Amino acid sequence: ASSPFLQGAPAYWAERIVRTEVLNANNASSNIAITTLNEDLGDMLKVNSATFDSRTSADSYAVHGQIRRTNEAFDSWFGSFMHPPDRPNDRSVVVPHRMSWPLPAGLKPKSDGEIAARWAMEGRKGSPPARPRISTVPMDQLRK
């Protein structure tokens, strides 16, 4: 009530800011933990994992399943980021993963067709932007 920015603004603005900042703090701490584990284990990776429901945007479909080394940034249509969220209301999380582990089905990237279908379902015209790079780690280095 005392915020000049939020006075007169819809209540969901405040909720959006808090939700995004809490997710940022959670993912930042996860990113630090993954980096620390990598110092001991040497084969830690991070995977961007999106939440899929009726509110999930096409850009989240496009970044889901990206694999990076601990010191590398993820890529999105909006730029690079070390950990989610990469925009307001993003509900993605950073997941720790070892190169010696097989990649679970739930962390595999969405197909180009799924991204395009979500783009169209949102009522967007034309094609979605070019898909961001999926992995900086050669997939044959991950345990099958």
Asked if residues 132 and 76 have their Cβ atoms less than 8 Å apart, the reply is: yes
Per-residue pLDDT of the chain (144 residues; tens, 9 = 90+): 677 766 666 777 778 888 888 988 999 999 999 999 999 999 999 999 999 999 999 999 999 999 999 999 999 999 999 999 998 888 999 999 999 999 999 999 999 999 999 999 999 999 999 999 999 998 888 885
Tokens read off for 136: 């900086």
- Other CB atoms within 10 Å distance of the CB of residue 64: 23
pTM of the model: 0.88
Q: Length of the chain in residues, anyone?
A: 144
